[in-house]
Chains A and B, each alone.
Chain A
Amino acid sequence: MLLNQFLLLSAFLFCTGIYGVLVRKHAVLVLMSIELMLAAVNINLVAFGAFRNNAIGQVFALFVLTIAAAEVGVGLAIVLLIYRNLNSANLDDVETLKG
């Protein structure tokens, strides 16, 4: 089994995720991009796990999935509140931290 293919796929997904997070303006799309990044990590974990004949990789992937679910829950709640307060889910409008 070739590890490379999986790693390349994972790297591609991860870069797509980063691109999405940095460029997309809609908060929900940014959240989805974060999910992509987590999925990329999962692929890495499972691939290495399979490569080394070790179940730990898959176990970790399960943990990541769980935490990702929780994170989306929190993230969506924040997006919802932002939307209620600003009437927009555009991240450019969220700039109260401006110094």
Chain B
Amino acid sequence: MDWFLENAWLVPLIPAVSFVVILLVGKRMPRQGSEVGIAAVGTSFVLSCGAAIGWIRHLQHAEPGTSALGALGRSVGRLTAEGHEAPVEPVLRSVTWFQNGGVKLTAGIQIDGLAVVMMFMVTLVSLLVHIYSVEYMRGDRRFTYFFAALSLFTASMLLLVVADNTLQLLVGWELVGVCSFMLIGHWWEEKENSSAAIKAFLTTRTGDIGLMIGVITTFFIVQRATGEGSFNIIELNRAVSEPRIGHTIVLWCALALLLGIIGKSGQFPLHTWLPDAMAGPTPVSALIHAATMVVAGVYLGLRVYPVFFHGLSIGTPGHSWINWMAGVGGITVLVGASLAFVQDDIKKVLAYSTISQLGYMVMALGVGAWTAAVFHLFTHAFFKADLFLGAGSVSHSGAHHSFDMKTDMGGLKKYMPQTYRTFVIGSLALAGIFPLAGFWSKDEILVSAGHNGYKLFLVIGLVGAVLTAAYMTRCVYLTFHGEYRGAHDPHAVPHADEAEHDPADTPALVELDAHAHAPHESNGLLLGPLWVLSFFAVFAGFLNFPHWSRFALWVDPRYPTQFQEIISEVAFNPILAAISVLGALAGGGVAWAYYTGRVEALRDLTLRNGAARVGKRLLVNKYYLDYLYEDVIVAGIRGPVAQAVYWVNQHVIDNVLNYAGRGAQALGHLTYDYVDQKGVDGLVNGLGAATGESGGVVRRIQTGRLQFYALMLVGAVGVFALALWVFT
């Protein structure tokens, strides 16, 4: 057995130790603790790479006696192409955490393809974010503290990833939540930031109620199947497929866990915290959106997928056309993508984009596309981190630390050519343009949705792809093209999200200003991570190239499960791929045409054709969506439609209404006098008065006097003691 796989527990442990070290001695280090964080995460990254290589070798060297593929003497790859995997057990190690009565709780690692992929991705993105932060956070008041929190954040996420039981997963999950709270509120001196942190924490807590219930339920599911309760994930995944487990308990467990995912992964309707979380420093946003925090929810879905698979009856013969998971994901795809259009803050565009992409992943899980969900999670991490760090680079060096695309950016292409290139690569990958990473993973989700019989979600996915391309084009255009709009003095405007300009750090402030006057390219510490991430954004997709699907082979859960069949490789569909790419190109093209003003052809068409005019209004009037969110009705009434409606209104409806109105008026008077005034009002007033009265009585108990409360406590104990004595 491979050393790296056996000792994968070191991967979360090292950043955790680094957290303590930075907190204790970080301030006295020459680089204020940042070097400890980078070294620790770097070591973890090396160990993760080792584990990844170890896992691949582990698959190839599966022992002949135990695996069908050894006996057949074929290569793993060819066998997978035919859909017959040999059972390769994950690497398990655990210690007893504590024992109480007959229940033994363990803490341990379960290293399989999924965990290895996540470890690699989390440590890589985290390492790059660490390096990036050295420059980005330079001179910050709580520089050391920031790195300590980053370390703990990474450690918590890794703890969650390697967990072999749902309880440990829950611990990691909550730690991730706490860390994101600390980091989003990093500049807590401004009310807005601390409110955002609290909002993020409380919103995800709402979902955590579900997770808590779900995790407790997993214990009893295993108990029902094996007679001995356990939080172990493998036992759970085996237990749910046993027929003697009632379907009801699995269904409720799945729904409870889904609530946890909705909260953590920013799914509709608990997605509102994610855009607000942009109040944190940009590297944190990158980390939250790419590698930690929000992907924790999706990871949970991947880890205990059999629960959802059986609980929600995904992909079984005669399944319904929708289920809770796919529905939530599908709505989120569209809501996130459409909201991304109306944001002026570049980070908020990316935040809504993340919501939309997470929607894809949850939707993929909902339609039975397990491998596709993992793959999209993997590729998304790279291009989203790329985009966020790119946005940070723009703001740091080109826009006076502002994130507003409309007022402070534009035309930055010629000042920041390298940032521009990486940002465009990230955008193309996100939009799913062939042959970048996003194309392969998104396409796989779409193909699986179609293959498993969820046509509606195939369509939603396509629409989402078009929208994605369009809003990313808008984002790139507003940021990098056109005229530079950020020439004004950064101190002449009030800047809400510009806490880098710390009044306490006067020397740093002066230095920042000295280089902040003209937009310029960022330095190597910012650009290096961008290029690395761009590299992955371009090439990560090839890991699952059709007919050479290494990725699917590596992550495949090898323990025997019933969902094996549905998640097995689905053939690449060139037509669907072409449609999605063309859709994305069309979406991007329309947005581009609108923003560059090259719409002459389009304009001529719209002058002649009324329908096209309406269409153009819908497509290129960027304020249309603004109005949609502010006032749906006004937007609908304007334009040619309104004229026609007006005529009908004046000539037809008015007459009808006049007569109907008089009748209604008479009826109304009657109703008003008897029903409303005497009946309803009396009831409502009475209710209000009764509530007020009783409240007045009860509030007298709330004296605010501590000892009175203590007296009541003692009195209550006395009453209970008396009751116990009397009744027993």
Residues of A within 8 A of B (CB): 18, 21-23, 30, 91-92, 94-99
Contacts and interface: CB of A to CB of B under 8 A. Distances in A.
Interface residues of B, number: 11
A55 B524 CA distance: 65
Contacts of B701: 99
A93 to B, nearest CB: 10
B704 A21 contact: no
A30 B702 CA distance: 20
Nearest to B702: A99
Interface residues of B, dominant DSSP: helix
- Most-contacted residue by chain A among B699, B710, B711 (CB, 10 A): B710
Contacts of A22: 707, 710-711, 714
Contacts of B703: 95, 98
Contacts of A30: 706-707
A21 B706 CA distance: 10
Given A18-B714, A22-B711, A22-B714, A96 B706 contact: no
Contacts of B707: 21-23, 30, 91
B662 interface: no
Nearest to B700: A99
Given A97-B704, A99-B702, 7 more contacts: A18-B714, A21-B707, A94-B706, A95-B703, A95-B705, A98-B704, A98-B705
Nearest to A96: B704
A92 B699 contact: no
Contacts of A92: 705
Contacts of A18: 714
B711 A91 contact: no
Contact of A99 (B699, B706, B710, B714): B699
B697 to A, nearest CB: 11
Interface in B660-705: 699, 701-705
Contacts of B705: 91-92, 95, 98
Contacts of A23: 707
Q: Which 5 pairs across A and B sit closest by C-beta, in order of nearness?
A: A98-B704, A99-B702, A95-B704, A97-B704, A99-B699
A37 to B, nearest CB: 11
Nearest to B698: A99
A97 B702 contact: yes
B711 A99 contact: no
Contacts of B704: 94-99
Nearest to A97: B704
A97 B705 CA distance: 8
A39 B718 CA distance: 20
A92 B701 CA distance: 15
A1 to B, nearest CB: 26
Contacts of B702: 97-99
Contacts of B711: 22
Interface in B574-605: none
A98 B701 CA distance: 9
